[in-house]
Amino acid sequence: MDQVLKGQIAIITGASSGIGAGVAKSMAAAGATVVVNYPVEATKPAADAVLKEITDAGGNGIVAQCDVSKEDQVIKLFADVVAQFGTVDILINNAGLQRDSKFDEMTLDQWNTVISVNLTGQFLCAREAIREFLRRGPRPEVSAATGKIICMSSVHELIPWGGHVNYATSKGGIKMLMQSLAQEYGDRKIRVNSICPGAIQTPINKAAWETPQALNSLMSLIPYNRIGQPQDIGNLAVFLSSDQSDYITGASIFIDGGMTVFEGFSTGG
């Protein structure tokens, strides 16, 4: 892979599994120094394994604990990374979870957990990233943009999702967070975009792909007829972080094998 991110420091939240791990590997292969974030001690071994794959392949990085829903931990994460590497160039706001329930049975705890991690976590990390971009100013030797933020949204910022109202609401909120930041900081050469994955094969949606029946039913939603892989998202994250996408900001990029062209309407019925 071309070293399009050479010399840049990237924080990837929730990078000990799934999409975050795939993005960290792709960005390291593109030359970035990656911070593989994990939330709690129990996820450190998985983060260490991701970092080992990265360093075995010739890449650079560290692992760093931080629960993105906790303000003090997010502030410390960014302070530690700036102390170690001098700055941050790219934030991949990826950490997320689901607490599914019928709406009339949803507890306040299920609601608050999803909003705290998926939406407030993105707010806290984006705020620290933007503070650092503004403090540091341009680094034309590594990138045309002063800083880049990529928010991991979902097709569910567009497609309503019964049984998952807390999750869909968090992704709808991310859309406005991302667009408002792109508007507010565009003149400071800070680019902010969202990646909106469809079905990607990770632990978060295991029930949708672990049996042949489940996978078959999932395919009825995907015109391109395959489940996505973390590498698909990694490729897009590298592009959106690099100067090859320098004129893209405030955009939601759907990467979903066509899920958002609504396969159910394909027969014209």
Which residue numbers are catalytic?
Answer: 167
User: Which pair of structure tokens corresponds to residue 204?
Assistant: 């978060």
Q: Which of 31, 61, 96, 147 binds ligand NAD (CB under 6 A)?
A: 96
Smallest distance from ligand NAD to CB 88, Å? 16
Residues 121-160 that bind ligand NAD (CB under 6 A): 121, 152, 154
Binding ligand NAD by CB under 6 A: which of 33, 94, 120, 166? 94
Element (H, E) at 82: helix 71-85
By beta-carbon proximity to ligand NAD, the closer residue of 116 and 138 is: 116
Match 């034309």 to its residue by tokens: 140
CA–CA separation, 160 and 103 (whole Å): 13
Please state, in angstroms and as integers, the Cα–Cα distance from residue 199 to each residue in 82, 165, 223, following that order.
34, 17, 12
Nearer to ligand NAD, 28 or 189 (CB): 28
Residue ranges in 100-139 assigned as alpha helix (H): 108-114, 121-136
146: enclosing H helix or E strand:
none
Window 172 to 211, contacts with ligand NAD (CB under 6 A): 197, 199-200, 202-205
Give the CA-trace dihedral at 242, 248, 254, 258, to 10 degrees: -100
Longest dimension (CA), the chain: 60
- Closest distance of CB 264 from ligand NAD, Å: 19
Name the residue nearer to ligand NAD (CB basis): 115 or 142.
115
The size of the interface with ligand NAD (CB under 6 A), counted in residues, is 29
Closest separation between CB of residue 44 and ligand NAD, Å? Answer: 10
